Amino acid sequence: MTATTVIQCVPKPHRVEYFGLVLSSLPPVGTVPSPDNPYVAPLPLCIGIDHIPRTQTTSLHLIHATRENAFLQGQNPIFKPLSVTCQFTRHGDIIFRPDLSCKEIKEGLPQMAEKGLIRELSDALGTWVVIIGKQALSKKCGHCQRWEQMCRNEQGKLKYRRWNLCQGCYAVAYCRDECSDKAWEGGHWETCLKANEPIQDAETVGKEDDLLLD
């Protein structure tokens, strides 16, 4: 495979799983958003997955469901990092150890579990598993770094579209063909075939030795 080879992208039609969290750092439920309170409860979020083929590392984040906040300029799409390191099992499940030093993450975990998004493993290691599948997670464009989020169309209605996965490795997503072409020319072709290799296998979810995270 050479730099002149073009790998097409294929769309993944599955919907991103959006949810709301009620956090003590936010105004009470029912508060109307305003310049003083741009974020209110329940805060609309989704789980985002960021995979870097060159380093074979994967991280999880809580991503704002909408791209533009009418009362906040320059919004960071990432609300809070959920886990800086996670692993894939042989069955494709994502296991992670959340940052419990973050109050919002600690408060949000049981709410996400109640909504059927994640569950805690009984390994006494504080390890969790994502149970909604990778297709339901927001992905970041491998070139311009934009996350899959809802935005308003010309009619003012919230909508979103999924990024397209690289058909060569299925590990990197791109928001448009231009980003895919630029990433390919920038060196993605070198890592494309390696990007689909598992980060680290775990024989069985739940075994202590399999779930140790660095």
Q: What is the pTM of this model?
A: 0.79
**Residue 198 DSSP one-character state:** -
* Confidence band of 196 (pLDDT split at 50, 70, 90): low
User: CA-based Rg of the chain, rounded to a whole angstrom?
Assistant: 18
So what's the pLDDT on residue 122?
A: 84
So what's the pLDDT on residue 45?
A: 96
Whether 208 shows a pLDDT value over 50: the answer reads no
User: 47-85 b/e with 16+ CB inside 10 Å = b?
Assistant: bbbbbebeeeebbbbbbbbbbeeeeeeebebebbbbbbe
Whether 12 shows a pLDDT value over 70: the answer reads no
Pick the range with the lowest mean pLDDT from 17-26, 79-88, 145-154: 145-154
Residue 57 or residue 63, greater confidence: 63
So what's the pLDDT on residue 1?
A: 43
So what's the pLDDT on residue 19?
A: 96
Whether 107 shows a pLDDT value over 80: the answer reads yes
Q: What confidence tens digit (pLDDT) does each residue in 152-194 have?
A: 777 777 777 789 888 888 888 999 999 999 998 888 888 776 5
* CA distances for 190 relative to 23, 169, 193, angstroms: 43, 11, 8
The Cβ-side half-sphere exposure at 162, using a 13 Å CA radius, reads: 18
Whether 132 shows a pLDDT value over 50: the answer reads yes
Runs of H (alpha helix) within the chain: 103-114, 177-183, 189-191
Query: Which of 105-114, 124-133, 170-179 has maximum average pLDDT?
Result: 105-114
Residue 134 or residue 114, greater confidence: 114
So what's the pLDDT on residue 7?
A: 45
So what's the pLDDT on residue 197?
A: 55
Q: What is the mean pLDDT of the chain?
A: 82
* Mean of pLDDT values over 99-106: 94
Residue 165 or residue 14, greater confidence: 165
So what's the pLDDT on residue 212?
A: 35
Residue 68 or residue 136, greater confidence: 136
Q: What percent of the chain has pLDDT over 90?
A: 49
